[in-house]
Structure 1
Amino acid sequence: MTDTAPATPLPDGQALAALIAGKLCHDFISPAGAISSGLDLLKDPTAQDMRDDAMGLIEASAKKMVALVAFARVAFGAATSSERFSGAELGELVSGLTEGGRATLTWTVADTSYSKAQSRALVNLAYLTMAALPSGGVATIATRTDGAALVIEGLAEGARARLKGEAVAGLAGQPLSEGLPGQWIQPYWLWLTARDAGGSLDVQAEEGRVVLTAHMPN
């Protein structure tokens, strides 16, 4: 009989905060570094012929940083003092973060108001749907009501639509056994958001197609 190693425990408290902080730092470092590089070029007297390129780099990176912060405030934090968000507001957050990627976002979310928990589930689910299309495709995000529940659905369709092993584990509320914690924490956070609100999360993945469905109390 072969001994089986105990499953890695799920993060709690400080461990969960550390994983989220690590992901945010990873997301922010690229645009922050690009802004720093652009500023260095502006200060370099031998690189004045690259001034326009440097300004373009700074502008694009600053825009990306602002989009990341705005998204993170709703996806991971307490956001603002607002208790509810409109579908249009949430759509702008997601499109601002995913703009320039290979996948196309189709936002068919009802432009009604959503609670903080619903908004958090919606933007995270939308982001992960886009992330399931590394080689391009179409990500369709929609909402509908089903009795007392709000149904949030993300459909990713593309030639290489897929979920990484870390994402599959996180979306099922399972601990990370191998792989990168940074690719596990956001899927797990979506599962945790749905569970803590009294909802549920369903995942279907097949060749060229991934469907994420969250049921949230309405």
Structure 2
Amino acid sequence: MADTSDIAALDLAALIASRVCHDIISPVGAINNGLEVLAEESNEEMREFAMDLIRKSARQASAKLQFARLAFGAAGSAGASIDLGDAETVAKGFMAGEKASLEWSAVRVLMPKNLVKLLLNLILVAGHAIPRGGVIRVVVTGAAESPTFTVTCTGSNARIPANAEAFLNGESADQSPDAHMIQPIYAGLLARAAGMTMAIDKDGDTVVFTATPKIAAVDAATTPAA
């Protein structure tokens, strides 16, 4: 059993770095391949193909780095806020190169950075729930300081990623953390830092991730039934 609630800072940093490198190594490698073709090829058709590859891969690398900056980076000083519209932009840019498409429904407001980082990381977790692709729908409701996030992913053979619920809630899991599992681990750390409660539900080919303010969750649990 592995307890992820107190993962060492150095281990967390290493796992996040591995995740970022995993995301950008493919488009950067494609850029390098395109440059090699340009250096060796005289055929104009092949050279144009190489330039198209370089342009597409450069856009993908830029989108992934911009996403990582908000999802994992410091994003300003402690207590800073992030424009939810900026989060939408980087999320859609990131998902443009993924198997799943992204739908976003949220009012553009400034939101505490840990909440925005949580939302972006939940999108990544949702992507693992539909490995064959599909649709990820993001809905943000409530006040900027205490929102509710609902991330619904629908696709063929949708599944709850292994140990995701335990990792999101900082509980013991039956597998040691690795770079493939850093998303639910880090999302769980962000949720607890932001005072949010996590839940996962599955119905057929749909998996729903919900993040709710702890105060709201407690109120709902203690309110007598009508």
- The TM tier, using the shorter chain, reads 0.7 to 0.9
Q: Distance in 2 between matches of 1:14 and 1:128?
A: 22
Deviations 1:58-93 (A, max 9, x none): 111111111111111111111256932222211111
Counterpart-to-counterpart distance in 2, 1:29 and 1:147:
35
The counterpart of 1:211, out of the listed 205, 208, 211, is 208
Gaps of 5+ in 2: 216-226
Looking at structure 1, the residues matched to 183 and 124 of structure 2 have their Cα atoms a distance apart, in angstroms, of 9
Decide whether the 8 Å contact of 1:19 with 1:181 is kept in 2: yes
TM-score under structure 1 normalisation?
0.86
Structure 2 equivalent of residue 155 of structure 1: 152
Equivalent residue runs for 1:13-162 within 5 Å: 13-45=9-41, 49-80=45-76, 83-145=80-142, 149-162=146-159
Q: Which has the higher contact order (CA 8 A, sep 6+)?
A: 2
Contact 2:122 2:183 in 1 (8 A): no
In structure 2, the residue matched to 1:3 is: none
- Superposition RMSD in Å: 2.6
Q: Aligned equivalents of 2:203 and 2:166: distance in 1?
A: 16
Deviates more, 1:116-125 or 1:175-184: 175-184
Q: Equivalent of 1:184, from 166, 176, 181?
A: 181
2:170 match: secondary structure: coil
Q: Which moved more, 1:38-47 or 1:189-198?
A: 38-47
Change (3 A) 1:71 1:147: closer
Following superposition, the deviation at residue 49 of structure 1 comes to 4.0
After alignment, is 130-139 or 32-41 more displaced? 130-139
Aligned positions, number: 212
Q: Percent identity?
A: 33
- Please give the TM-score of this superposition, normalised by the length of structure 2: 0.83
How far is 1:169 from its partner? 3.9
